[in-house]
Amino acid sequence: MDIKKLPEGTIERLSKYRRCLTTYCKFYRENIFSHELARNLHLTPEQVRRDMMLIGHSGSHKNGYNIEELVEKISEVIDCRGKTNVAVFGLGNLGQAIVRYLQDKETRLNVEAIFDVNPEKINKPFLSVDCYHIKDLKRIIKEKDIRIAVLTLPGDDAHDMALEIAEAGVTGIMNFTPVPLKLPEGVFLEEYDILTSLEKVAFFAKK
């Protein structure tokens, strides 16, 4: 199995399997069947088994998959290089929600820095994460070995900031601002916009 060849869909599902297993299942049982995992996550059992196959994990015919082993295996695959440091840019409502959420969840992604421009927010820790002025981003990103940036700042500044962030050495950017980014090659970019999701829901909900 060439791990880098795994389809995006599989990676997303692996993340969901793991969360489902660590959150709901591991406390009250040892094993789980493909159809159970599938039902929880709105998938088919075949797809679950196919994903298992892709990461080279096997279960038992009688008991399905051992939850602990499976979580271990998924972690080997998706956290392959261990812990990854994340910074959040813009500590408004959305930024705060995200920092809190990431701290609550079991994950190897650690929010190690926050950036803002508001003097009231800078130099005070938020949920024990230090908040810096955005002008120091280059230095802090290097010092703290930040790999992933989450953009939750106003759209006006987003593009310029993103370019600086990329230049500082970040290799993955999650963009929540409504501004489509044009980044240099080599930076993995993911964008999410709730309006797109909601318009889709509205469309398919109309029958």
Ligand X SMILES: NC(=O)c1ccc[n+]([C@@H]2O[C@H](COP(=O)([O-])OP(=O)(O)OC[C@H]3O[C@@H](n4cnc5c(N)ncnc54)[C@H](O)[C@@H]3O)[C@@H](O)[C@H]2O)c1
Partner DNA sequence: ATTTACTTGTGTTTTGATTAACAATATGTA
Partner DNA sequence: TACATATTGTTAATCAAAACACAAGTAAAT
Q: Which residues bind a copy of itself (CB under 8 A)?
A: 4, 8, 11-12, 15-16, 19-20, 23, 39-42, 78-81, 84, 86, 92-94, 96-98, 100-102, 105, 107, 109, 147-148, 150, 171-174, 178, 180, 182, 186-190, 192-207
Using only C-alpha atoms, what is the Rg of the chain? Answer: 19
Which one, of 61, 82, 85, 73, lies nearest residue 21 by Cα?
73
Name which of 5 and 61 has its Cβ closer to a copy of itself: 5
Q: Shortest distance, CB of residue 66 to DNA, whole angstroms?
A: 11
Give the binding-site size for DNA (rule: CB under 7 A): 24
DSSP code for 59: -
DSSP code for 129: B
Quick one: 116 exposed, middle or buried, by C-beta within 10 A (0-12, 13-18, 19+)?
Answer: buried
Given a copy of itself, DNA, ligand X, none, residue 153, with its beta carbon under 5 to 8 Å by kind, binds ligand X
Name which of 53 and 198 has its Cβ closer to DNA: 53
Distance CA 108, CA 151 (A): 19
Residue 200 interacts with DNA (CB under 7 A): yes or no? no
Given ligand X, a copy of itself, DNA, none, residue 103, with its beta carbon under 5 to 8 Å by kind, binds none
Residue 58 interacts with DNA (CB under 7 A): yes or no? yes
Which one, of 113, 107, 67, lies nearest residue 91 by Cα?
113
**Would you state the structure tokens that stand for residue 167, as one six-digit string?**
């230049």
Given ligand X, a copy of itself, DNA, none, residue 204, with its beta carbon under 5 to 8 Å by kind, binds a copy of itself
DSSP code for 180: P
**Would you state the structure tokens that stand for residue 29, as one six-digit string?**
């049982």
Point out which span in 59-67, 71-79, 148-156, 187-195 binds DNA (CB under 7 A): 59-67
Given a copy of itself, ligand X, DNA, none, residue 79, with its beta carbon under 5 to 8 Å by kind, binds a copy of itself
DSSP E strands: which ranges in 23-176? 31-32, 65-66, 84-89, 109-116, 131-133, 146-151, 172-175
Q: Where on the chain is the footprint of DNA (CB under 7 A)?
A: 7-10, 33-35, 43-47, 49-50, 52-53, 57-62, 64-65
